[in-house]
Amino acid sequence: MITPHIHDVEKPKDRAIRHGHARRGQHTRTYNIWEGLRKRCEIQTNHAYKYYGARGITICDEWRTFEGFLASMGECPDGLTLERTDNDAGYFPSNCVWADRATQAKNRRNVHHITVQGLTMTIHEWAEKTGLSYMTIYQRLRKGATAEAAIGRGWYSRGHQSAEGLSRKPK
């Protein structure tokens, strides 16, 4: 009987890999994204755990394995990363999409959203739309202006009065 050489024997860890995304030293981008979200949510020593797992951000049972994640989300398209549409909810299929960095930057916890006449946008988006600077809108809001007034052109910081209220001639 011929004994197989030690290098010809399949190691148990290699046998467990069925998806082809995580061979020794060669993980795909999709696998790294899955592994990162798992570590952020479940490993208390991970540097980002305080922003995810400690806040109650969890992973659905289906995504506890890479195969389940891959079946739900598919391969990560070039230039995109995983985005949770609701930052206070966990990682599960109906709360995650592949998104570009610009889209993700608008969906951070520290981004201020303003709703005017049923339209919700970030301060940066309102600044682009109105031609006002980000800081102008931000400072107006800090000083107590309503959302409508903060993006309007007739708002003045002195007493939060309109242009009509600051007439130079006494009435």
Q: What is the pTM of this model?
A: 0.59
Q: What is the DSSP string of 58-109?
A: -B-GGGGSHHHHHHHH-SPPTT-EEEESSTTS-B-GGGEEEE-HHHHHTTST
User: Tokens 């005017």 identify what position?
Assistant: 116
Q: Is 121 helix (H, G, I), strand (E, B) or coil?
A: strand
Please state, in angstroms and as integers, the Cα–Cα distance from residue 51 to each residue in 44, 82, 103, following that order: 11, 16, 20
Strand partners, 29: none
Neighbours of 167 (CB within 10 A): 9
- Cα–Cα distance, 145 to 132 (Å, whole number): 15
pLDDT (0 to 100) of residue 16: 47
User: Tokens 């798992």 identify what position?
Assistant: 38
Of 9-23, 30-44, 57-71, the one with minimum mean pLDDT is 9-23
Residue 162 has pLDDT above 60, yes or no: no
- Give mean pLDDT, residues 7-26: 53
Residue among 162, 121, 116, 123 at smallest CA distance from 139: 123
Handedness of CA 99, 104, 109, 113 (dihedral sign): negative
- Give φ, ψ of 95 to 5 degrees: -110, 0
pLDDT, tens digit, 9 for 90 and up, residues 104-137: 877 777 777 788 888 888 888 888 888 999 899 8
pLDDT, tens digit, 9 for 90 and up, residues 65-75: 999 999 999 99
